[in-house]
Amino acid sequence: MNIILIGYRATGKTTLAELLAERLDCDWIDTDVKIERRAGKSIARVFAEDGEPAFRDLEARVIADLCRRERLVLAAGGGAPLRPESRRIMRQSGTVVWLVASPETILARMSADETTAGRRPNLTGHDPLEEIVQLLVVREPIYRSSAHFSVDTEGKTPEQIVDEILDRLESTTESRRTRRENETTDKQQMN
């Protein structure tokens, strides 16, 4: 079973993937890093030189390849769930967790990350806060439909967020087990 972290950039996916993997004693991968290695250039350069459709094609292939693995925590890029096929593959591969933060918090985190400007493209040409708000309007319904559950990352330490994710995973797993047991009992009673 895999854990796939989705959400807008700077919601904590990479940091939390590493911490979750450490706690669960499994591997973790940041899809953006994997994409850059495959492309041999930064995501910003892929967008500039090849265009967004080429980037999304590469991203979908990387997601599909990684979701074939077992016991992996995956930090998916902010746009990874945009393609229906990628959403389907992620949900079938494991539990998808949507990490949430306000546009203002996202902007503050992005501004504090020195690598953001060089590695991540501006997607709309608008002011950064306006871009975040604009893209969240489009992406939030996709994130919501992709995720098994969401976790708000506002005002919490990474360790607190990891604890919350693990608690939710445990209750989700228990709920699935109970549902399967009830379905089995119902079938037995019908026979």
Angle at 39 between CA 34 and CA 42, to 5 degrees: 80
Confidence check: pLDDT of 185 > 80: no
Count of domains forming the chain: 1
Residue 38 tokens read as: 């495959």
Confidence check: pLDDT of 119 > 80: no
Domain hosting 105: range is: 2-190
Average pLDDT, the chain: 90
User: CATH code at 156?
Assistant: 3.40.50.300
What local confidence, expressed as pLDDT, does residue 112 receive?
Answer: 87
Confidence check: pLDDT of 99 > 60: yes
pTM of the model: 0.86
Pair type for strands 72-75 and 27-30: parallel
Residues 28-80 pLDDT 10s: 999 999 999 999 999 989 999 999 999 999 999 999 999 999 999 999 999 99
Residues 11-27 pLDDT 10s: 999 999 999 999 999 99
Q: What are the residues whose beta carbons fall under 8 Å from the beta carbon of 166, sequence distance 6 or more?
A: 20, 23
CB atoms within 10 A of CB 23: 14
Confidence check: pLDDT of 109 > 80: yes
**Range 157-170 average pLDDT:** 96
Q: What are the residues whose beta carbons fall under 8 Å from the beta carbon of 71, sequence distance 6 or more?
A: 1, 2, 24, 26, 27
What local confidence, expressed as pLDDT, does residue 15 receive?
Answer: 96
- What is the C-alpha separation between 114 and 120, in angstroms, rounded? 11
Q: Which residue has the higher pLDDT, 111 or 39?
A: 39
